[in-house]
Amino acid sequence: MMLVTQTISDQKILSLPDGQTGPAPCTRTCSGVSSYKDTGTYKWITVDSGRVRKRTDIEECGFVSAPVVTAIMRGHYCPYIQVNAVSDTRLYFETVQGANVGLSASLIVFYQCEVFWSATGYTC
């Protein structure tokens, strides 16, 4: 005999950056961690004194438009961040301007700052 339990989940998106909505069965939440260890295109780069930026690809999430994104940074002495730009395939995170004068990409790596992000959007 095999027992099966049914899980009911409800997800509703009230609004997206482009103002469009999609059918309820197509909603998805995708999440991940953008690591301080990332290299190449995905490493932290210094924009100017006190601002550092990082790119994260979200193509595997399968969104058809820009999702709603929430992000936090964790590590040792990590600065505040903002989601700078969002598309259906890519996110850019940036430290808040002026919050940390003298901040650089090498300090972000030294402090082992990682971005924990969550994106909610439509897949169809």
| Residue 57 contacts residue 89 (beta carbons within 8 Å) | yes
> Using one digit for the tens of pLDDT, what is the confidence trace for 48-99?
767 899 999 999 999 999 999 999 999 888 888 899 899 999 999 998 865 5
Q: Look up the pTM and report it.
A: 0.85
> Domains of the chain, with CATH numbers?
38-122 (2.60.40)
CA 105 and chain centroid, separation = 18
Query: How many angstroms separate the CA atoms of 82 and 7, rounded?
Result: 34
Does pLDDT of 3 surpass 80?
no
Does pLDDT of 37 surpass 70?
yes
Mean pLDDT for 6-17 is: 75
